[in-house]
Structure 1
Amino acid sequence: MKSPISLQKRLGLGLTLGMTLLWLGATVGAWLVVQHELNEAFDSALEETAQRILPLAVLEISNREAPREAQHVATLKVHKEYLTYLVRDELGRILMQSHDANPKIFNKQPGEGFTTTDKYRLYGASALRKTLFIEIAEPLAHRREAAREALFALLLPLLALIPISLLGTWLFVRISLRSVLAYRRALETRGAGDLSPINVARLPAEIDPLADAVNHLLERLRKTLEAERSFTANSAHELRTPLAATLAQIQRLRQEAPEGPLRLRAAKIENSLRDLARLSEKLMQLAKAEGGGLLSEAPQDLIPLLAHAVDEWHRSSGQRIELRLPAQRSVYSAIDPDAFGILLRNLIENALKYGAVDQPVEVSLTDQALLQVINAGPAVPEAVLQRLTERFVRGTSEASGSGLGLAIAKTIVLGVNATMALASPATGREEGFEVSVQFLCLPG
């Protein structure tokens, strides 16, 4: 899929191209006018020259002793002669010619008016009742050269105008779209949990209604999500007390019941109530993760938080967890300590529940704030791996669970602007499951 072209680039290139085409069109039009005017000026020069030379030629020929003999007009100094002429009688005999004239380029019979050959423009005039004729020839290359120089004079500024226009247009468009670019940056840098209105001043009239619509949509989405989170949290909270009371009654009933089907049925009910209590706890954690408040005001040292959480897990469950900490004393990040505890608890629960029973869970933290939780066990298929962070999605294991642990972890990770990656098999192994969370490492 082709990446979209930015409005700034489109306007810059479009305006520059349009200006260039307009300049070229104006140049061509001006060149045609200049060429027409040049032709008129050159024709007028031919006519004026003929009318000035012809009386002098008549006088010169009349005063000769042998008027019918051809005569070359001498030049005062050597120079390139653009205009050459012949003075002939009515029979075409040459009576006078300029020093550089070539009779072959003239008409065989003298005439009056303008004529054009392949290479020359000619003008003829007559005197003494059309007994003497003068024809002046001018090379068309001279006219073409003058027209070409005029065209170059019009085109040369365009070479400097194109980059200047491109730079000027780009700067003008960038300044004009400054508020739009600020609006885009505000959208790009906004986290997944931030649904507050986006306020950017002086948006263009075409973009302002769109910004209002986006803010209205964000407000509706925020209210919907808040209602959903409130319902989830309240429901889970309200269920805790009756669930605890019911669980206590079932436990007492199971102890008082005689051996047999009644005690087995009570045990099944107790297990179902425990699962429901765990689900209620997960729903409360999910509501907290989605409700914000995941970032602390000051950077938090992850090393003591991680060590305390693992030590507490050891004391409460007795399950084996191998902890590896970095050599440096402190690793700081912006995550809230309670949110970090919920995140770590869900990752360790997931690793213990679905990992190999006879292998420990490895928990490590690097000096670059990379948290890794690795458990042994069969590799998870790629199709299942890609969906494990969705709500109520579980792997292929037979272990019981709600399918919310990794979803809660993913929500917390997104809320603190971190990244989470799943890998199975684990890195450098042929089996196992690995969860990596890269926090933003901050100075202490």
Structure 2
Amino acid sequence: MSMPRPRSIARELRISLGLTLLAFWLLAAGLAFSVMQEEMGEVFDSALQETAERLAPLVIDDLYTREDTSAPRKLTALRENVPDEYLTYQVRDGSGRVLLHSHNVSADPYEAPLVEGFWSGDEKRIFTVAAVSGSIFVQVADSLDHRREASIEGVTALLMPLLLLLPASLIAVSWFVRRNVSEVDRLKRVIGLRDSGNLAPIDLKDLPIELEPIQQSVNLLIKRVDDALEAERSLTANSAHELRTPIAGALAQSQLLLSELQDGQTRDRARQVDAALRKLSVLTEKLLQLARADAGIGKSAVTSDLSTILDIVMEEFLRNRQSGSVLHYHRPEKMVLSREVDPDAFAIAARNLVENALAYRLPDTHVDVHLKPDGLRVSNLTSTKTLLAPEKLRQRFVRGHSLHPGSGLGLAIVERLATQMGAQLELTATPLAPDQSRFDASIVFRDP
């Protein structure tokens, strides 16, 4: 089932104005044609009547000078092969018999009655003049086809300019609509650039007065959202900072307590407390990173060598006894990755990708970290059962099935920072065996 086409104000304006303009043009042409047809009819009738009245005395004189009136007399044409002879005439007596007729009509009497005035049939319009006390009738006929032809030629002459003017009018309407709607498009584009990473007020100059309230309302909404996000970030950062010290102290006390207790139920409970404190410490650290990511630290005006930043991060992991033995760092010699990115933001993103791979790798497998010309890729083998859809893994507080402690914020933080750094987080899972897949998490920078 196809999706409905989205509405467009500009398109609807062009269509409605174009159809309205076309309707008015056709209405004007119809009215003009109606008036023209009526006036042309009056002109034709006037010419028909005047011809009959001027012809009547002439044919009467001709009849009285002629001796034989028993058979209809046909007048010969003065010129042969004259085109477009539309008027014909007959002279009839009181009984209807044809006494005289023009060369371009037969001797069969017209269908018109012998009554003075106009009469219309299917093919002719006839004007009748009575003479000699109503004993002689002169009938002059005009072809209705001629009148229709004249009307068609008239309306054609009227519509021909319309065929040229109407497209020009539609083009002008479209141009004016596009020109005026361009201000709406400009405001739409600027509003579309606003998100939680860009909450700068909109300051468009020379906006039409109809759009000024929209700009003011959007700016007011942006300020409210910015205030709410800032309050949320401040609460998260302050809470995490305040929790760091007591958690670290509690962890130290739990370690001291474990060293003093003998094996038994009390020591097991102490281990549970220690594990809970470590999980809380990890969550606190991730919340701090999330607060910094929400603050928009990813972009920088200064170009940084990110390959050096990655070297420092990897050195920290490689020195650790647990992670160093399973990490394989692939760094081509003399490769430099330079971007206008905040070093701390890139370090946080890289550290989260490596930590995620270490947490979800299969036992006795390693983690590969590749420095690429366009970014960073971290790969690990994992169980297919622990994998979730990439769309879900990008969400906050969502994590795969693993016994390793985690907060479900690592990939969400990387997603947020990658967007700010002008990069993209790509997550792919490639099945290798019935219960084994290779999981790749990559930060791919767009062209600098």
Query: Do both proteins adopt the same fold according to a TM-score greater than 0.5, normalized to the shorter chain?
Result: yes
Partner of 1:392: 397
Distance 2:177 2:333 in 1: 52
Equivalent position SS for 1:397: coil
**Are residues 1:189 and 2:159 paired?**
no
Alignment map for 1:336-415 (pairs within 5 Å)? 336-367=342-373, 369-379=374-384, 384-415=389-420
1:243-288 C-alpha deviation (Å, 9 max, x unpaired): 2222222222332334544444333322222221111111000000
Partner of 2:310: 306
Alignment map for 1:119-138 (pairs within 5 Å)? 119-138=123-142
Query: Is the 1:374–1:426 contact (alpha carbons within 8 Å) kept by the matching residues of 2?
Result: no
Partner of 1:236: 240
Which residue identity does 1:239 align to in structure 2?
L
Cα displacement (A) at 1:380: 5.3
1:327-371 C-alpha deviation (Å, 9 max, x unpaired): 98444433321111111111111111011132222233443x253
**Are residues 1:162 and 2:166 paired?**
yes
Cα displacement (A) at 1:304: 3.4
Q: Are residues 28 and 297 of structure 1, via their aligned partners in 2, closer, same or farther at CA, if it must alter by over 3 Å?
A: same
1:108-162 C-alpha deviation (Å, 9 max, x unpaired): 7533211111111111111111121111111111111111112222222232233
Q: Choose from 221, 226, 233 the match for 1:222.
A: 226
Q: Are residues 212 and 105 of structure 1, via their aligned partners in 2, closer, same or farther at CA, if it must alter by over 3 Å?
A: farther
Q: Are residues 275 and 203 of structure 1, via their aligned partners in 2, closer, same or farther at CA, if it must alter by over 3 Å?
A: same
Which residue identity does 1:371 align to in structure 2?
L
**Are residues 1:101 and 2:89 paired?**
no
Query: Is the 2:359–2:402 contact (alpha carbons within 8 Å) kept by the matching residues of 1?
Result: no
Alignment map for 1:12-161 (pairs within 5 Å)? 12-66=14-68, 70-77=72-79, 78-79=81-82, 80-104=84-108, 106-107=110-111, 110-161=114-165
- Larger relative contact order (CA 8 Å, sep ≥ 6): 1
Distance 1:394 1:193 in 2: 25
Partner of 2:438: 432
Alignment map for 1:285-300 (pairs within 5 Å)? 285-300=289-304
Distance 1:45 1:427 in 2: 100
Equivalent position SS for 1:282: helix
Distance 1:344 1:269 in 2: 30
1:52-93 C-alpha deviation (Å, 9 max, x unpaired): 111111222223344565333332322121011111221223
Query: Is the 2:98–2:109 contact (alpha carbons within 8 Å) kept by the matching residues of 1?
Result: no
Partner of 2:287: 283
Equivalent position SS for 2:28: helix
Q: Are residues 243 and 403 of structure 1, via their aligned partners in 2, closer, same or farther at CA, if it must alter by over 3 Å?
A: same
Moved more, 79-88 or 409-418: 409-418
Cα displacement (A) at 1:381: 7.4
Distance 1:209 1:53 in 2: 80
Distance 2:227 2:411 in 1: 25
Cα displacement (A) at 1:313: 2.1
Cα displacement (A) at 1:402: 1.0
Equivalent position SS for 1:376: strand
Equivalent position SS for 2:74: strand
Equivalent position SS for 1:137: strand
Distance 2:432 2:154 in 1: 73
How big is the alpha-carbon RMSD for the aligned residues of Structure 1 and Structure 2? 2.6
Query: How many residues of Structure 1 are paired with residues of Structure 2 in the alignment?
Result: 441
Structure 2 runs not aligned, ≥5 long? none
Cα displacement (A) at 1:188: 2.6
Q: Choose from 250, 255, 258 the match for 1:251.
A: 255
Cα displacement (A) at 1:426: 6.0
**Are residues 1:272 and 2:266 paired?**
no
Cα displacement (A) at 1:325: 5.1
Structure 1 runs not aligned, ≥5 long? none
Distance 1:434 1:44 in 2: 95
Partner of 2:5: 3
Query: Is the 1:420–1:436 contact (alpha carbons within 8 Å) kept by the matching residues of 2?
Result: yes
Q: TM-score, normalised by structure 2?
A: 0.90
Q: Are residues 341 and 116 of structure 1, via their aligned partners in 2, closer, same or farther at CA, if it must alter by over 3 Å?
A: same
Q: Are residues 436 and 48 of structure 1, via their aligned partners in 2, closer, same or farther at CA, if it must alter by over 3 Å?
A: farther
Query: Is the 2:74–2:103 contact (alpha carbons within 8 Å) kept by the matching residues of 1?
Result: yes
Q: TM-score, normalised by structure 1?
A: 0.91
1:208-259 C-alpha deviation (Å, 9 max, x unpaired): 3333222222211111111010000011011112222222222223323345
Moved more, 281-290 or 36-45: 36-45
Q: Are residues 126 and 176 of structure 1, via their aligned partners in 2, closer, same or farther at CA, if it must alter by over 3 Å?
A: same
Cα displacement (A) at 1:297: 0.3
Q: Are residues 383 and 241 of structure 1, via their aligned partners in 2, closer, same or farther at CA, if it must alter by over 3 Å?
A: closer
Which residue identity does 1:433 align to in structure 2?
F
Q: Are residues 423 and 286 of structure 1, via their aligned partners in 2, closer, same or farther at CA, if it must alter by over 3 Å?
A: same
Moved more, 424-433 or 280-289: 424-433
Distance 1:239 1:105 in 2: 120
Q: Choose from 324, 329, 333 the match for 1:318.
A: 324
Query: Is the 2:74–2:100 contact (alpha carbons within 8 Å) kept by the matching residues of 1?
Result: yes
